[in-house]
Amino acid sequence: MAVTVSSVAEVCARARDASRALAATDTATKNGALRAIARALRSREAEILAANELDLQDGCEADIGAALLDRLRLDGERVEAIAAAVEAVAALGDAVGEVIEGYRLPNGLDVRKVRVPLGVVAVVYEARPNVTIDAAALCLKSGNAIVLRGSSSATQSNAVLASIASEAAVGAGLPEGCIGLIGSPTHPGGHEELAELATQEGVVDLLIPRGGEGLKAALKNVATVPVIYAASGNCHIYVDASADLDQALAIVLNAKTQRPGVCNAVETVLVHADVATDFLLSAIPALRAEGVELRADMRAGALSGEHPELNAAGEEDWDAEYLALTLAIGVVDSVEQAIEHIARYGSGHSEAILTKDTASARAFQLGVDAACVYVNASTRFTDGGEFGMGAEIGNSTQKLHARGPIGLRELCTFKYLIEGSGHVRA
């Protein structure tokens, strides 16, 4: 069964029809559909990997870079992780119907504030085919239909994954059109389709773009539907004067090198002047051994000893989301200076302080305006799966409706249910 049709409007209209049935679908049916999707992913792994190999070949020919290729690549372990994430979503409690609060008014009316699905959620994403399944699983569990629009670099992978998920979901009792995909291997689509999707007023209830600042800017210029931006991550780690430096080095290495091409990887490390020499003398060779290119301010360069491989950091480096094995390093004189730097250059995603000082930790927590603020932990934990949400559609850097990992509850709105016994207003 195909999941694509020729018109963006038709895909969205089918999703709108499906969303009405999904909103009333019981938890057992939704969970059964998710488990069916997980089984189908495992049984059709060879088909998925064959499609992904075609995308990887095209990516290599187009020279899209190591970071994007890493995001794009699937193997048996990653397919299993995707299937396991779907099962984890199925195992979660159902947010739909959850009573947020309830009370009786003095006049006897009973009022309940209850979570309900948004309706139709559109997700635009770049390179990572696992998002196809993560997003679909979360939307179906939260009672929403989903319209997917991946990047041209993952066209083959997304088409196969969406088809497998749609077939399994409909076969398990969910409505036709509950998973829609815009673009296909024969017709990848372009900016016109993106603009059309972003202007489906009255049909698409929420658009979530996962990508860089270019995608964000493109949608800001045209979108007329509500948008939550799962945007860039210019993440920082501040090594305070009281930090355990061995622990700090392990955290910085993890946050930079474990998977550099993701939005929760650290891009800038700020070090307190009192420990800069000791920390940098061990951190620089350790990072270089992992292949990290370092860009340092004048103070970091002067304090780090004989390291001619250090490049001078320019203004553009503090703004950069490298998504690669590149790291900016700066020296500051206080936690307040670190907070000021982050306020100027940070993207509101994930920020961390490494310290033994409770006052510094508290100042950082209160002073840093970001979705996720860490004390003595890697920024790499900003993830719906790591936060116990099963999976995520993205990480919102906004403040309204959703902030941080977008999971089941963030894909719901609410309504008030009021029950009376013949009440009329005087």
- Residue type, position 420, single letter: G
Angle CA 95–98–100, to nearest 5: 120
Sign of the C-alpha dihedral, residues 87, 91, 95, 100?
A: negative
Residue 262 has pLDDT above 60, yes or no: yes
* Whole-number pLDDT of residue 186: 57
Cα separations in angstroms, 130 against 4, 52, 72, 133, 164: 18, 11, 9, 6, 13
Backbone angles phi, psi at 147, to 5 degrees: -115, 120
SS3 for 245? Answer: helix
What does the alpha-carbon distance between residue 286 and residue 280 come to, in Å, rounded to a whole number?
Answer: 9
357 token code pair:
């000082």
Longest dimension (CA), the chain: 83
Confidence band, pLDDT 50/70/90 cuts, at residue 183: confident
* Whole-number pLDDT of residue 358: 98
Average pLDDT over residues 62-72: 86
Q: Give the pLDDT confidence of 10-39 residue by residue, as tens digits.
A: 999 999 999 999 999 999 999 999 999 999
334 contact partners, CB below 8 Å, separation of at least 6: 272
Contact 144, 411 (CB under 8 A): yes
What does the alpha-carbon distance between residue 120 and residue 124 come to, in Å, rounded to a whole number?
Answer: 13
391 contact partners, CB below 8 Å, separation of at least 6: 85, 86, 88, 89, 134, 137, 138, 384, 385, 407
Confidence band, pLDDT 50/70/90 cuts, at residue 3: very low
* Whole-number pLDDT of residue 45: 98
- Residue type, position 33, single letter: A
In which residue are the tokens 């959703």 written? Answer: 402
Q: Give the pLDDT confidence of 319-346 residue by residue, as tens digits.
A: 999 989 999 999 999 999 999 999 999 9
* Whole-number pLDDT of residue 212: 73
Domains belonging to the chain, first-starting first, are: 8-230+393-419 (3.40.605.10), 235-381 (3.40.309.10)
Average pLDDT over residues 179-188: 76
Q: Give the pLDDT confidence of 143-171 residue by residue, as tens digits.
A: 999 999 998 899 999 999 999 999 999 99
Backbone angles phi, psi at 199, to 5 degrees: -120, 25
Q: Which of 203, 153, 375, 346 is nearest to 267 (CA)?
A: 346
SS3 for 425? Answer: coil
